Chain A
């Protein structure tokens, strides 16, 4: 069947311009499809990688995000005494009571205002987030109006660089450090001393509690215990799951948008492929007759033309993916609908996306080619041979 493949492939090469135009149409659709799915994947990966499997987040029961959550000092003290919390080398509990507040800062490029997460942290907050690395300056001193900013904040917002002062909550805060948390949501946050921030924002409750679980931890039994405690109206979840949920709404929106847009675009690409393949069948009627006379069956003819159309889809898919892969060099910043905060993330190409995009492209090739291929296979030999 190698020869049949050559036959299909070389026919495409012979019609270079038509092949190029048809596969370009498919490539464009694959590019749009892959780009939007890569955006959703980037958002989801960024948020999922923000969390760790061995960290547990405690929030108010009805809250879905830290911004909506309130945990009183009394409730926090009860959580602090739970036996499933790991200890550090000094014997201190690996637990941090954190405050999460949104402020608005002006973007460098667009000069527009965007929400940025301020996280009030404790010493242990950094110990529990090994992905957070100081890239410039130093850590803020506890009890001072010092802050450190994620590298995406330093890069994208005005006056947010090392040594600058940011004015919020009626006070001026000095940026003493810039941290890099890689491709995670923390890189889009500002961190400062929890107590200082609570005072400044006139809050007397925390937003969340995070702790490192020990080997005795069992999430269902822990949840049952805190849910049945009448003093606590709290809920616990693994940090990775928490961040995964934060990305679900927007990722779903992006995926639906991507699929809807590409479904519409793909109709055009399929029609393009269909016209190309019908023209190919019409131009090669005598060839079809010859092949049939030589003993090739209807199925062989159907396969040869379908293969040609699938090659078109394959070429379109590869081209679209090559261009889409270049988007990985671009980082975008947008508001996450669920947290209402600005989040910077990159387009991410995964094996799953490559498979889906190629599958989609081959599907377009198949749908575009099947009717012309059926037509070719149904031609009568004698009539075809007359078309020289």
Chain B
């Protein structure tokens, strides 16, 4: 089965932050394997290091120690500009506050990651239409973010995340700013992306309800990955 093929492999990753002279450990000797097509939730109290781990997997930050391989590429050895190029085609981001560019329309927001690709204008348009259709927001593509509800904005953000057909989708509290109904819609959509399109999803959440949608829940506490992971589908 596809799901047994490792897509993210984390080995003994350590991350610390400096605050003045003080060194604050955030992640300690983390090792984790995420298989292709997996839907993983990282949960834990605030400050446990969930977002830091997500940022390291997504290539937004650099680990102090250890190896992170995504799709067979060791991203810890990539330079900053190499990481930028890598992110374009390998990582789709879903943020808590959607992070849409307010001066661009829904269509243009979705098109944004594609302008860094080699696609022609026509191909870009086709990709954007497909992505907007997948999240069922094509009728709002000319609207600016301020003209959309929170749920609609998050769907546009999801379309932006999948438009490049990335290796992994990372979501940091994707339902944190939404009401129950909108949150349910977004979670349904993420389910569909995982189930129907085989997308590998890594989500950081505080919300147990959102966590339950994942196949696997990993718990982090004080920078250490707990052994009592849950397989929510078993």
User: Hey, which bits of chain A sit against chain B, CB under 8 A?
Assistant: 1, 3-4, 6-7, 10-11, 13-14, 286-287, 289-298, 300, 381-382, 385, 388
Determine the distance from Cα of A296 to Cα of B160 in the docked complex, in whole angstroms.
14
Decide: A293 and B87 in contact? CB cutoff 8 A: yes
Q: Pick out which of these stretches binds chain A: B5-13, B64-72, B98-106, B183-191.
A: B98-106
Residues of B that sit less than 8 Å from A by CB? 55, 58, 60-61, 80-81, 84-85, 87-88, 93, 95-97, 99, 101-104, 108, 111-113, 115-116, 160
Question: Contact between A290 and B84 (Cβ–Cβ < 8 Å)?
Answer: no
Q: Which 10 A-B pairs have the closest CB atoms?
A: A295-B88, A10-B103, A290-B99, A295-B87, A388-B97, A297-B84, A294-B113, A381-B60, A382-B61, A295-B116
Q: Besides A11-B103, A297-B84, 9 other CB < 8 A contacts?
A: A3-B111, A290-B101, A293-B93, A294-B112, A295-B87, A295-B116, A298-B81, A381-B60, A385-B60
A181 to B104, CA, bound (A): 58
Q: List 22 A-B contacts (CB under 8 A).
A: A3-B108, A6-B104, A7-B103, A10-B103, A10-B104, A11-B103, A286-B99, A290-B93, A292-B84, A294-B88, A294-B112, A294-B113, A294-B160, A295-B85, A295-B113, A295-B116, A296-B116, A297-B85, A382-B60, A385-B99, A388-B96, A388-B97
**Complex alpha-carbon distance, A297 and B84, angstroms:** 6
A293 touches B101 (CB 8 A): no
Are A7 and B104 in touch, CB under 8 angstroms? yes
Contact at B115–A14, with CB atoms within 8 Å?
no
Q: Are B93's CB and A294's CB within 8 A?
A: yes
CB distance from B24 to the nearest CB of A (A): 14
Chain A's closest residue to B101 (CB) is A287
Shortest distance between the CB of B176 and any CB in chain A (Å)? 11
- Given known A-B contacts A3-B115, A4-B115, A296-B116, A14 and B102 have beta carbons under 8 A apart: yes
Of listed A286, A289, A291, A293, residue having the most chain B CB within 10 A: A293
Which residues of chain A are within 8 angstroms of B87 by Cβ–Cβ distance?
293-295
Q: In the complex, A385 Cα to B55 Cα: how many Å?
A: 11
Q: Is the CB of A3 within 8 A of B104?
A: yes
Residues of B within 8 A of A293 (CB): 58, 60, 87, 93, 99
Provide the residues of chain A in CB contact with B61, threshold 8 Å.
381-382
Contacts of B58 in A (CB 8 A): 293
A286 to B172 CA separation, bound complex (whole angstroms): 14
Residue of A nearest to B51 (CB): A382
Q: Nearest Cβ distance between residue A204 and chain B, in whole angstroms?
A: 80
B80 — which chain A residues lie within 8 A by C-beta?
298
Q: Which residues from B are CB-within-8-Å of A381?
A: 60-61
* Residue with the highest number of chain A CB atoms closer than 10 Å, among B60, B81, B96: B60
Whether the pair B55, A382 counts as a contact (CB closer than 8 A) is yes
Residue contact A388 to B99, C-beta cutoff 8 Å: yes
CA distance A52 to B95 in the complex (A): 73
CB distance from B135 to the nearest CB of A (A): 17
CB-based contact B103/A385 at 8 Å: no
A302 to B104 alpha-carbon distance, docked (Å): 19
Beta-carbon nearest neighbor of B89 in chain A: A295
| Min distance, Cβ A7 to any Cβ of chain B, angstroms | 6
A169 → chain B closest CB, angstroms:
74
Q: Which residue of chain B lies nearest to A289 when distances are taken between CB atoms in the complex?
A: B99
Contact A290–B95 (Cβ < 8 Å):
yes
Contact between B112 and A3 (Cβ–Cβ < 8 Å)?
yes
Residues of B within 8 A of A294 (CB): 87-88, 93, 112-113, 116, 160
Nearest-neighbor residue (CB-CB) of B84 within chain A:
A297
The docked-state distance in angstroms from the alpha carbon of A336 to that of B108 is 59
> From B90, which residue of chain A is reached at the shortest CB distance?
A295
Chain A residue with Cβ nearest B58: A293
Closest residue on chain A to residue B113 by CB atoms: A294
Closest Cβ neighbor of A4 among chain B residues: B115
What are the residues of chain B within 8 A of A1 when measuring CB–CB? 115
Of B81, B84, B95, B104, the most chain A CB neighbours within 10 A belong to: B84
Partner of B101 from the list A7, A13, A382 (CB cut-off 8 Å) is A7
Residues of A within 8 A of B81 (CB): 297-298
- Smallest CB separation, A376 vs chain B (Å): 14
A385 to chain B, nearest CB (A): 7
Q: Tell me the nearest residue of chain A to B161, going by C-beta.
A: A294
Alpha-carbon separation in the docked complex, A382 to B83 (Å): 14
CA distance A388 to B103 in the complex (A): 16
Contact call A295/B84, Cβ cutoff below 8 A: yes
Chain A minimum-CB-distance residue to B88: A295
How far, in Å, is A374 (CB) from chain B's closest CB? 15
Say yes or no: A14 contacts B108, CB within 8 Å: no
CA distance A46 to B108 in the complex (A): 54
Q: Which residues of B contact A3 (CB under 8 A)?
A: 104, 108, 111-112, 115
Instruction: Report the Cα distance A127→B87, complex, angstroms.
Output: 79
**Contacting residues, chain B, for A292 (C-beta < 8 A):** 84
